[in-house]
């Protein structure tokens, strides 16, 4: 009988502790409102290089259209310390497709490996002179991919040496508390440690807004953002 009581108390204590730990984090949720098209996408659609691409027998660009909201908007938290770097197996992809880098903005945690596949019918080159992660992958054809690991938090501006209008941004972040919106513009960041932080809104090529937030244990913070040209 005593053994059963002890076992019950251990199980009850374990469950209670797991619930307490699970409930210590807060949630950040909101919506992002932005135009469906941006100037960069329109420039690409009208660019002379698109005509050259058509000559290679591909019309995929017209079918894929411009960037989705999830490809050009990111919300992320800064000021959270004591976070472990990304797992060594963590991978992200910055695609080269339809004469565009996709996504336009790629958020990753420091320590993440980023693959750069070429899915176009011609050669591309991928490079960056950014201090947080300078690299040059050279020119390579369709079906090939190259990889870079980004260990230092910062902004990586990526370009193609062959097609001057192609660019993207890799946000190498100090923690895992970031999110991109869904098709309705909703984003959510879960299990954020309680504290006072800065919430940042990045759209396209720049940080649009930042604001101070306070995260309470088990509570939810609502933060909506709007981008206008």
Q: Are the C-beta atoms of residues 181 and 187 closer than 8 Å to each other?
A: yes
| Residue 93 in domain | yes
Reported as a single tens digit per residue, the pLDDT across 15-73 is 333 333 345 899 999 999 987 655 554 454 445 555 555 555 444 444 455 789 999 99
| Residue 124 in domain | yes
For 224, what's the count of Cα atoms within 13 Å in the CB-facing half-sphere?
Answer: 6
Confidence class for position 229, pLDDT limits 50, 70, 90? confident
Instruction: Find where tokens 């050669």 sit.
Output: 123
| Residue 194 in domain | yes
Q: Are the C-beta atoms of residues 158 and 131 closer than 8 Å to each other?
A: no
| Residue 186 in domain | yes
Residue-number span of the structural domain to which 169 is assigned: 26-226
Q: State residue 112 phi and psi, 5-degree precision.
A: -85, 140
Number of domains the chain contains: 1
Give the tokens for residue 96. 């080269």
Residues in the chain: 229
Provide the pLDDT for residue 5.
41
For 137, what's the count of Cα atoms within 13 Å in the CB-facing half-sphere?
Answer: 25
Q: What is the CATH number of the domain that holds 215?
A: 2.60.40.420
pTM of structure: 0.80
For 169, what's the count of Cα atoms within 13 Å in the CB-facing half-sphere?
Answer: 16
Provide the pLDDT for residue 194.
96
| Residue 174 in domain | yes
**CA pair distance 78, 189, nearest whole angstrom:** 13
Provide the pLDDT for residue 136.
96
Average confidence (pLDDT) over 115-122: 92
């Amino acid at each position: 009988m005593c053994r059963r009581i002890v076992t019950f108390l251990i199980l009850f204590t374990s469950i209670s502790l797991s619930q307490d730990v699970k409930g210590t984090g807060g949630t950040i949720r909101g919506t992002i409102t932005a135009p469906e098209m941006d100037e960069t996408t329109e420039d690409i659609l009208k660019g002379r290089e698109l005509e050259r691409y058509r000559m290679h027998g591909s019309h995929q660009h017209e079918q894929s259209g411009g960037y989705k909201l999830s490809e050009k908007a990111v919300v992320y938290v800064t000021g959270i310390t004591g976070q472990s770097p990304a797992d060594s197996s963590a991978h992200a992809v910055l695609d080269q497709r339809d004469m565009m880098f996709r996504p336009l903005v790629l958020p990753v945690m420091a320590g993440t490996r980023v693959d750069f596949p070429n899915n176009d019918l011609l050669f591309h080159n991928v490079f960056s002179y950014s201090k947080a992660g300078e690299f040059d992958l050279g020119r390579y054809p369709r079906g090939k991919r190259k990889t870079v690991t980004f260990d230092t938090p910062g902004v990586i501006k990526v370009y193609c040496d062959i097609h001057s209008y192609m660019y993207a941004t890799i946000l190498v972040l100090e923690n895992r508390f970031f999110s991109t919106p869904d098709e309705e513009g909703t984003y959510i960041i879960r299990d954020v440690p309680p504290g006072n932080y800065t919430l940042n809104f990045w759209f396209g090529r720049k940080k649009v807004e930042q604001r101070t937030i306070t995260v309470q244990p088990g509570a939810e913070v609502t933060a909506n953002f709007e981008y206008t040209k």
